[in-house]
Structure 1
Amino acid sequence: MNLNIRNELPEDTKRISKLTAAAFEQEQHSSHTEHFIVDALRQAGRLAVSLVAMKNDDIVGHVAISPVTVSSGAAGWYGLGPISVLPDCQGQGIGSSLIKAALAKLQSKGADGCVVLGDPDYYGRFGFKPHAGLELPGVPQEYFQALSFGGDLPTGTVQYHESFDATE
Protein backbone atom coordinates (compact mmCIF):
# COMPACT_ATOMS: atom_id res chain seq x y z
CA MET A 1 0.00 0.00 0.00
CA ASN A 2 1.30 3.42 -0.95
CA LEU A 3 0.47 5.55 2.10
CA ASN A 4 1.75 9.04 2.82
CA ILE A 5 1.22 10.63 6.24
CA ARG A 6 1.50 14.39 6.48
CA ASN A 7 0.31 17.36 8.54
CA GLU A 8 -3.17 18.55 7.72
CA LEU A 9 -3.39 21.56 5.44
CA PRO A 10 -6.07 24.29 5.59
CA GLU A 11 -7.67 22.94 2.44
CA ASP A 12 -8.09 19.51 4.07
CA THR A 13 -10.57 20.56 6.76
CA LYS A 14 -13.82 19.77 4.90
CA ARG A 15 -12.52 16.40 3.71
CA ILE A 16 -11.35 15.57 7.26
CA SER A 17 -14.80 16.40 8.62
CA LYS A 18 -16.53 14.18 6.04
CA LEU A 19 -14.04 11.36 6.60
CA THR A 20 -14.49 11.52 10.38
CA ALA A 21 -18.29 11.48 10.14
CA ALA A 22 -18.15 8.49 7.78
CA ALA A 23 -15.65 6.61 9.95
CA PHE A 24 -17.88 6.79 13.04
CA GLU A 25 -21.29 6.53 11.34
CA GLN A 26 -21.77 2.81 12.12
CA GLU A 27 -19.83 2.70 15.41
CA GLN A 28 -22.08 1.71 18.31
CA HIS A 29 -19.75 3.21 20.96
CA SER A 30 -19.74 6.59 19.25
CA SER A 31 -21.41 9.89 20.05
CA HIS A 32 -21.46 10.54 16.28
CA THR A 33 -20.07 14.00 17.05
CA GLU A 34 -16.40 13.22 16.40
CA HIS A 35 -16.27 15.41 13.28
CA PHE A 36 -17.68 18.32 15.32
CA ILE A 37 -15.05 17.67 17.99
CA VAL A 38 -12.18 17.85 15.48
CA ASP A 39 -13.60 21.05 13.97
CA ALA A 40 -14.05 22.62 17.43
CA LEU A 41 -10.51 21.66 18.49
CA ARG A 42 -9.16 23.25 15.32
CA GLN A 43 -11.20 26.44 15.81
CA ALA A 44 -10.01 26.68 19.43
CA GLY A 45 -6.37 26.27 18.37
CA ARG A 46 -6.10 23.06 20.40
CA LEU A 47 -4.88 20.61 17.74
CA ALA A 48 -1.33 19.91 18.88
CA VAL A 49 -0.99 17.22 16.19
CA SER A 50 -3.30 16.76 13.22
CA LEU A 51 -2.14 14.28 10.60
CA VAL A 52 -3.79 12.85 7.51
CA ALA A 53 -3.10 9.59 5.73
CA MET A 54 -3.04 9.98 1.96
CA LYS A 55 -3.56 7.13 -0.46
CA ASN A 56 -2.92 8.54 -3.94
CA ASP A 57 -4.70 11.92 -3.75
CA ASP A 58 -7.37 10.82 -1.28
CA ILE A 59 -7.45 11.43 2.45
CA VAL A 60 -8.22 8.00 3.91
CA GLY A 61 -7.40 8.66 7.57
CA HIS A 62 -6.94 11.37 10.18
CA VAL A 63 -5.65 11.57 13.75
CA ALA A 64 -5.99 14.42 16.23
CA ILE A 65 -4.04 14.99 19.43
CA SER A 66 -4.89 17.79 21.84
CA PRO A 67 -3.67 18.93 25.27
CA VAL A 68 -5.44 17.59 28.36
CA THR A 69 -5.54 18.95 31.89
CA VAL A 70 -4.53 16.78 34.86
CA SER A 71 -5.92 17.80 38.26
CA SER A 72 -2.50 17.33 39.90
CA GLY A 73 -1.14 20.12 37.71
CA ALA A 74 1.07 17.82 35.65
CA ALA A 75 1.90 19.54 32.37
CA GLY A 76 2.87 18.16 28.99
CA TRP A 77 0.07 15.60 28.69
CA TYR A 78 -2.11 15.13 25.63
CA GLY A 79 -5.09 13.11 24.49
CA LEU A 80 -5.11 10.93 21.38
CA GLY A 81 -8.27 11.09 19.32
CA PRO A 82 -10.44 11.16 17.50
CA ILE A 83 -8.76 8.87 15.02
CA SER A 84 -10.63 8.10 11.81
CA VAL A 85 -10.17 5.81 8.83
CA LEU A 86 -12.60 5.55 5.92
CA PRO A 87 -14.77 2.45 6.43
CA ASP A 88 -13.62 0.76 3.22
CA CYS A 89 -9.97 1.31 4.20
CA GLN A 90 -10.19 -0.01 7.77
CA GLY A 91 -8.19 -3.09 8.68
CA GLN A 92 -5.28 -2.12 6.42
CA GLY A 93 -2.96 -0.67 9.07
CA ILE A 94 -3.78 2.97 8.31
CA GLY A 95 -4.93 3.71 11.86
CA SER A 96 -1.80 2.09 13.30
CA SER A 97 0.41 4.10 10.96
CA LEU A 98 -1.35 7.33 11.96
CA ILE A 99 -1.04 6.58 15.68
CA LYS A 100 2.66 5.74 15.44
CA ALA A 101 3.38 8.90 13.44
CA ALA A 102 1.30 11.09 15.76
CA LEU A 103 2.95 9.73 18.92
CA ALA A 104 6.41 10.21 17.40
CA LYS A 105 5.54 13.79 16.47
CA LEU A 106 4.14 14.45 19.93
CA GLN A 107 7.23 13.01 21.59
CA SER A 108 9.50 15.14 19.37
CA LYS A 109 7.63 18.22 20.63
CA GLY A 110 8.73 17.39 24.17
CA ALA A 111 5.44 16.02 25.48
CA ASP A 112 5.55 14.02 28.71
CA GLY A 113 2.88 11.57 27.63
CA CYS A 114 -0.46 10.80 26.10
CA VAL A 115 -3.79 9.37 27.22
CA VAL A 116 -6.45 7.61 25.19
CA LEU A 117 -9.99 6.38 25.74
CA GLY A 118 -10.59 3.16 23.84
CA ASP A 119 -10.13 -0.57 23.40
CA PRO A 120 -7.29 -1.76 25.66
CA ASP A 121 -6.36 -4.58 23.27
CA TYR A 122 -5.95 -2.17 20.35
CA TYR A 123 -4.20 0.70 22.14
CA GLY A 124 -2.08 -1.65 24.24
CA ARG A 125 -0.16 -2.44 21.04
CA PHE A 126 1.24 1.10 21.16
CA GLY A 127 2.23 0.94 24.83
CA PHE A 128 -0.90 2.44 26.39
CA LYS A 129 -1.95 0.92 29.73
CA PRO A 130 -4.49 1.75 32.42
CA HIS A 131 -2.87 3.30 35.50
CA ALA A 132 -4.32 3.44 38.99
CA GLY A 133 -4.46 7.02 40.13
CA LEU A 134 -5.07 8.49 36.67
CA GLU A 135 -8.71 8.60 35.77
CA LEU A 136 -11.33 9.97 33.45
CA PRO A 137 -14.57 10.37 35.41
CA GLY A 138 -17.40 8.09 34.36
CA VAL A 139 -15.18 5.74 32.38
CA PRO A 140 -14.21 2.19 33.41
CA GLN A 141 -10.50 2.21 34.34
CA GLU A 142 -9.46 -0.39 31.73
CA TYR A 143 -10.65 1.81 28.85
CA PHE A 144 -8.74 4.92 29.92
CA GLN A 145 -5.05 4.38 29.29
CA ALA A 146 -1.81 6.35 29.42
CA LEU A 147 1.58 6.23 27.76
CA SER A 148 4.52 8.02 29.35
CA PHE A 149 7.40 9.19 27.18
CA GLY A 150 9.93 8.49 29.90
CA GLY A 151 8.91 10.38 33.00
CA ASP A 152 6.65 9.57 35.89
CA LEU A 153 2.97 9.08 35.28
CA PRO A 154 0.85 11.79 36.83
CA THR A 155 -1.99 11.07 39.22
CA GLY A 156 -5.35 12.77 39.25
CA THR A 157 -8.35 13.35 37.10
CA VAL A 158 -7.92 14.07 33.40
CA GLN A 159 -10.07 16.60 31.62
CA TYR A 160 -10.28 16.98 27.85
CA HIS A 161 -10.84 20.38 26.24
CA GLU A 162 -14.42 21.64 26.13
CA SER A 163 -14.37 21.02 22.36
CA PHE A 164 -15.12 17.38 23.21
CA ASP A 165 -18.63 18.56 24.12
CA ALA A 166 -19.25 19.91 20.61
CA THR A 167 -22.49 18.71 19.02
CA GLU A 168 -22.50 20.73 15.82
Structure 2
Amino acid sequence: MNTNLVIRNETDADATPIHDVTVAAFETLEISRHTEQFIIEALRAAKALSVSLVAERDGQVIGHIAFSPVVISDGTPDWYGLGPVSVLPAHQRQGIGTALIREGLSRLKAMHARGCCLVGHPDYYRKFGFRTVPGLVHEGIPPEFFFALSFDDQFPQGSVTFHEGFNADGSSAG
Protein backbone atom coordinates (compact mmCIF):
# COMPACT_ATOMS: atom_id res chain seq x y z
CA MET A 1 0.00 0.00 0.00
CA ASN A 2 2.58 2.60 1.06
CA THR A 3 5.57 0.90 -0.53
CA ASN A 4 8.51 3.29 -0.85
CA LEU A 5 6.53 6.04 0.87
CA VAL A 6 8.66 8.50 2.83
CA ILE A 7 7.17 11.13 5.10
CA ARG A 8 9.61 13.90 5.94
CA ASN A 9 9.85 17.56 6.87
CA GLU A 10 9.32 20.08 4.12
CA THR A 11 12.52 21.59 2.71
CA ASP A 12 12.97 24.84 0.77
CA ALA A 13 13.10 22.82 -2.46
CA ASP A 14 9.60 21.46 -1.77
CA ALA A 15 7.73 24.78 -2.11
CA THR A 16 6.88 24.38 -5.81
CA PRO A 17 5.98 20.67 -5.61
CA ILE A 18 3.78 21.39 -2.56
CA HIS A 19 2.04 24.18 -4.50
CA ASP A 20 1.42 21.83 -7.45
CA VAL A 21 0.19 18.93 -5.28
CA THR A 22 -2.17 21.26 -3.41
CA VAL A 23 -3.65 22.76 -6.59
CA ALA A 24 -4.18 19.29 -8.09
CA ALA A 25 -5.67 17.83 -4.92
CA PHE A 26 -8.31 20.54 -4.53
CA GLU A 27 -8.97 21.22 -8.22
CA THR A 28 -12.21 19.24 -8.45
CA LEU A 29 -13.37 19.63 -4.85
CA GLU A 30 -16.60 21.61 -5.03
CA ILE A 31 -16.50 22.87 -1.43
CA SER A 32 -13.03 24.38 -1.95
CA ARG A 33 -12.43 28.05 -2.60
CA HIS A 34 -9.25 26.91 -4.40
CA THR A 35 -7.03 29.03 -2.17
CA GLU A 36 -5.29 26.21 -0.28
CA GLN A 37 -1.96 26.73 -2.07
CA PHE A 38 -2.04 30.43 -1.13
CA ILE A 39 -2.82 29.53 2.49
CA ILE A 40 0.27 27.30 2.68
CA GLU A 41 2.44 29.97 1.06
CA ALA A 42 1.14 32.61 3.50
CA LEU A 43 1.73 30.35 6.49
CA ARG A 44 5.25 29.62 5.24
CA ALA A 45 5.98 33.32 4.68
CA ALA A 46 4.75 34.12 8.21
CA LYS A 47 6.88 31.28 9.64
CA ALA A 48 3.67 29.81 11.01
CA LEU A 49 4.12 26.27 9.66
CA SER A 50 4.72 24.55 12.99
CA VAL A 51 4.75 21.17 11.25
CA SER A 52 4.94 20.86 7.46
CA LEU A 53 5.40 17.37 6.09
CA VAL A 54 5.60 15.93 2.60
CA ALA A 55 4.85 12.42 1.43
CA GLU A 56 7.35 11.34 -1.17
CA ARG A 57 7.38 8.24 -3.35
CA ASP A 58 10.27 7.45 -5.68
CA GLY A 59 11.64 10.96 -5.23
CA GLN A 60 8.35 12.69 -6.13
CA VAL A 61 6.33 14.78 -3.67
CA ILE A 62 2.82 13.32 -3.81
CA GLY A 63 1.30 14.70 -0.61
CA HIS A 64 1.58 17.47 1.97
CA ILE A 65 0.15 18.41 5.35
CA ALA A 66 0.40 21.64 7.31
CA PHE A 67 -0.14 22.42 10.99
CA SER A 68 -0.15 25.98 12.35
CA PRO A 69 -0.95 27.59 15.70
CA VAL A 70 -4.49 28.65 16.51
CA VAL A 71 -5.78 31.16 19.04
CA ILE A 72 -8.59 30.13 21.35
CA SER A 73 -10.69 32.85 22.96
CA ASP A 74 -10.40 31.29 26.43
CA GLY A 75 -6.61 31.71 26.26
CA THR A 76 -5.75 28.01 26.14
CA PRO A 77 -2.24 27.75 24.64
CA ASP A 78 -0.51 25.11 22.52
CA TRP A 79 -3.35 24.21 20.19
CA TYR A 80 -2.82 23.83 16.46
CA GLY A 81 -4.89 23.74 13.31
CA LEU A 82 -4.55 20.92 10.79
CA GLY A 83 -4.73 21.85 7.17
CA PRO A 84 -4.56 21.91 4.38
CA VAL A 85 -3.76 18.27 3.69
CA SER A 86 -3.29 17.31 0.05
CA VAL A 87 -2.54 14.18 -1.96
CA LEU A 88 -2.17 14.03 -5.74
CA PRO A 89 -5.39 12.59 -7.21
CA ALA A 90 -3.59 9.58 -8.75
CA HIS A 91 -2.34 8.63 -5.27
CA GLN A 92 -5.53 9.24 -3.27
CA ARG A 93 -7.32 6.44 -1.43
CA GLN A 94 -4.01 4.65 -0.79
CA GLY A 95 -3.52 5.67 2.84
CA ILE A 96 -1.15 8.56 2.14
CA GLY A 97 -3.35 11.23 3.71
CA THR A 98 -3.85 8.96 6.72
CA ALA A 99 -0.08 8.47 7.05
CA LEU A 100 0.50 12.24 6.83
CA ILE A 101 -2.14 12.96 9.47
CA ARG A 102 -0.86 10.29 11.87
CA GLU A 103 2.76 11.45 11.54
CA GLY A 104 1.76 15.09 11.91
CA LEU A 105 -0.26 14.41 15.05
CA SER A 106 2.65 12.40 16.45
CA ARG A 107 4.99 15.34 15.86
CA LEU A 108 2.56 17.75 17.51
CA LYS A 109 2.45 15.50 20.58
CA ALA A 110 6.26 15.43 20.63
CA MET A 111 6.17 19.26 20.66
CA HIS A 112 3.95 19.05 23.79
CA ALA A 113 0.95 20.41 21.94
CA ARG A 114 -2.28 20.17 23.89
CA GLY A 115 -4.55 19.57 20.92
CA CYS A 116 -5.44 20.05 17.31
CA CYS A 117 -8.53 21.26 15.49
CA LEU A 118 -9.69 21.40 11.90
CA VAL A 119 -12.48 22.05 9.48
CA GLY A 120 -13.19 18.92 7.49
CA HIS A 121 -15.38 16.04 6.43
CA PRO A 122 -17.13 14.32 9.34
CA ASP A 123 -16.75 10.79 8.01
CA TYR A 124 -13.00 11.09 7.49
CA TYR A 125 -11.54 12.75 10.58
CA ARG A 126 -13.43 10.84 13.27
CA LYS A 127 -11.21 7.79 12.66
CA PHE A 128 -8.27 9.80 14.06
CA GLY A 129 -10.18 10.66 17.24
CA PHE A 130 -11.38 14.11 16.18
CA ARG A 131 -14.84 15.04 17.38
CA THR A 132 -17.18 17.95 17.68
CA VAL A 133 -16.84 19.61 21.07
CA PRO A 134 -19.76 21.53 22.57
CA GLY A 135 -18.59 25.02 23.44
CA LEU A 136 -15.63 25.00 21.04
CA VAL A 137 -16.50 26.71 17.78
CA HIS A 138 -15.05 28.24 14.65
CA GLU A 139 -17.22 31.21 13.71
CA GLY A 140 -18.95 30.78 10.36
CA ILE A 141 -18.39 27.02 10.19
CA PRO A 142 -21.27 24.63 10.88
CA PRO A 143 -20.46 22.60 14.02
CA GLU A 144 -20.69 19.29 12.14
CA PHE A 145 -17.58 20.30 10.11
CA PHE A 146 -15.43 21.62 12.97
CA PHE A 147 -13.46 19.05 14.96
CA ALA A 148 -10.98 18.92 17.80
CA LEU A 149 -8.63 16.32 19.23
CA SER A 150 -7.22 16.81 22.72
CA PHE A 151 -3.89 15.24 23.63
CA ASP A 152 -4.47 15.78 27.38
CA ASP A 153 -8.22 15.05 27.59
CA GLN A 154 -8.90 18.74 28.29
CA PHE A 155 -10.93 20.71 25.76
CA PRO A 156 -10.85 24.49 25.68
CA GLN A 157 -14.07 26.45 25.41
CA GLY A 158 -14.65 29.38 23.12
CA SER A 159 -13.96 30.44 19.60
CA VAL A 160 -10.98 29.18 17.59
CA THR A 161 -9.20 31.54 15.22
CA PHE A 162 -6.89 30.07 12.61
CA HIS A 163 -3.76 31.95 11.55
CA GLU A 164 -4.43 34.97 9.30
CA GLY A 165 -2.72 33.03 6.49
CA PHE A 166 -6.00 31.14 6.08
CA ASN A 167 -7.42 34.35 4.58
CA ALA A 168 -4.90 34.29 1.73
CA ASP A 169 -6.48 34.15 -1.69
CA GLY A 170 -3.55 34.89 -3.99
CA SER A 171 -4.67 38.44 -4.74
CA SER A 172 -1.75 40.06 -2.96
CA ALA A 173 1.83 39.20 -2.05
CA GLY A 174 1.83 38.47 1.64
TM range (shorter): over 0.9
Map of 1:14-29 to 2, 5 A cutoff?
Answer: 14-29=16-31
How far is the alpha carbon of 1:152 from its aligned partner?
A: 1.0
What is the aligned length?
A: 168
Query: Which residue of the partner structure matches residue 140 of structure 1?
Result: 142
- Tell whether 2:101 aligns with 1:117: no
How far is the alpha carbon of 1:140 from its aligned partner?
A: 1.1
Letter paired with 2:87: V
Query: Which residue of the partner structure matches residue 65 of structure 2?
Result: 63
Query: Which residue of the partner structure matches residue 14 of structure 2?
Result: 12
Q: Return structure 1 stretches of 4+ with deviation > 6 angstroms.
A: none
Letter paired with 1:11: A
- After superposition, give the CA deviation of every residue in 1:50-109 in whole Å (9 maximum; x if it has no partner): 000010110000000000000001100000000000011100000000000000001100
Structure 2, unaligned runs of 5 or more: none
Letter paired with 1:29: I
Letter paired with 1:60: I
Deviates more, 1:45-54 or 1:149-158: 149-158
- After superposition, give the CA deviation of every residue in 1:89-147 in whole Å (9 maximum; x if it has no partner): 10000000000000000110000000011111100000000000000011111110000
Q: Quote the Cα distance in structure 2 between the aligned partners of 1:27 and 1:93.
A: 19
Query: Which residue of the partner structure matches residue 42 of structure 2?
Result: 40
Q: What's the TM-score, normalizing by structure 2?
A: 0.95
Q: Quote the Cα distance in structure 2 between the aligned partners of 1:68 and 1:117.
A: 13
Q: Quote the Cα distance in structure 1 between the aligned partners of 2:152 and 2:122.
A: 20
Q: Quote the Cα distance in structure 2 between the aligned partners of 1:61 and 1:96.
A: 11
Q: What's the TM-score, normalizing by structure 1?
A: 0.99
- After superposition, give the CA deviation of every residue in 1:24-65 in whole Å (9 maximum; x if it has no partner): 010001010000000000000000000000101100000000
Structure 1, unaligned runs of 5 or more: none
Query: Which residue of the partner structure matches residue 90 of structure 1?
Result: 92
Q: Quote the Cα distance in structure 2 between the aligned partners of 1:151 and 1:130.
A: 14
Query: Which residue of the partner structure matches residue 56 of structure 2?
Result: 54
Query: Which residue of the partner structure matches residue 77 of structure 2?
Result: 75
Letter paired with 1:87: P
